[in-house]
Amino acid sequence: MAKFLPLAQAVAENLRDGDKVAFEGFTHLIPTAAAHEAIRQGFRNLVLIRMTPDLIYDQMVGMGMARKLVFSYAGNPGVGLLRRVRDAVENGFPNALEIEEHSHAAMANAYEAGAAGLPCAVFRGYRGAELAKVNPSIKPITCPFTGEQLAAVPAVRPDVTFIHAQKANRRGDVLVEGIIGIQKEAVLAAKRAVVTVEEVVEDFDSLHPNLTVLPRWTISAISVVPGGSHPSYAHGYYARDNAAYLEWDEIAADRDRFRAWMEENVMRATPEDFAARVEGLRAGASIRSAA
């Protein structure tokens, strides 16, 4: 049952060294504040799972927190490579990083299988592609009805999933809207789930029930962190800070500059700092069919 907690406590109570953890968000609603709190608390030996590792995993890998990365696209979308991840894979800096690489279709299916309580996902994938040769967790399977050759991948089951969402109500139900990505599946596949939200409202009575809602009993803890997905965005609240993604390419390119940036913007910062970072982006927020 969802407990409302300060972010530091929500992270401390739900994440442990060595955990398999997913900080999910598909370009939208990326849980940056939660990731930064995990970095401040200095967890080690994590297995980081995410379809699109993006900046926060570049930061966690660069800080030496990960022993393994499970992913399907390790890039800074529209900008280029994740330079800290690349340094770990190519040079073992700051430590060696094991990788388990998939396609988006495989990861999406694997999360869905995790949410559905199945041991594996079956889909039509990887045909002619070499990932199946270098990743032993991709196996061929034959349809028992048609004989068609398909691909199987193990279900994703994180110990804990972190997501960011627009709002919670007082009872702790959580609303996600806009590009909903893989977050619902990532929460339902995990043993524990922590959600940061932009705000808490009294109830969801005025909302249409077809919206994506995670009932409070699927969530372990909720923390209110306005701006908590910056430089990603929260549909209806603030726009994506595309300039920050472009800047990251330069910051992450240099080991020393990266450390200095982390020291200033993460180690010596707090969850409360996020609200100010999105202030100038609020006017550009996408608000769909504002009634």
Q: Which residues of the shown chain bind another protein in the complex (CB under 8 A)?
A: 26-28, 51-52, 71-75, 77-79, 81-82, 85-86, 89-90, 101, 103-105, 108-109, 111-112, 123-131, 134, 148-149, 178-182, 184-185, 233, 235, 239-243, 245-246, 280-288, 290
Q: Residue 108 or residue 175: which is nearer to another protein going by CB?
A: 108
Minimum gap (Å) between residue 80 Cβ and another protein: 8
Nearest one of 285, 174, 290 to 235, comparing CA atoms = 285
Instruction: Tell me how many degrees the CA angle 126-128-129 measures, rounded to the nearest 5.
Output: 55
Minimum gap (Å) between residue 134 Cβ and another protein: 5
CB atoms within 10 A of CB 1: 11
Q: Residue 104 or residue 255: which is nearer to another protein going by CB?
A: 104
| Contacts of residue 31, Cβ cutoff 8 Å, sequence gap at least 6 | 23, 24, 25, 56, 162, 163, 164, 196, 228, 229
| Whole-angstrom distance, CA of residue 125 vs CA of residue 105 | 7
CB atoms within 10 A of CB 272: 12
Q: Residue 126 or residue 162: which is nearer to another protein going by CB?
A: 126
Minimum gap (Å) between residue 56 Cβ and another protein: 14
Q: Residue 63 or residue 176: which is nearer to another protein going by CB?
A: 176
Q: Residue 134 or residue 205: which is nearer to another protein going by CB?
A: 134
| Contacts of residue 285, Cβ cutoff 8 Å, sequence gap at least 6 | 233, 234, 235, 236, 237, 238, 239
Structure tokens at 96: 């060696």
Minimum gap (Å) between residue 71 Cβ and another protein: 7
Minimum gap (Å) between residue 43 Cβ and another protein: 24
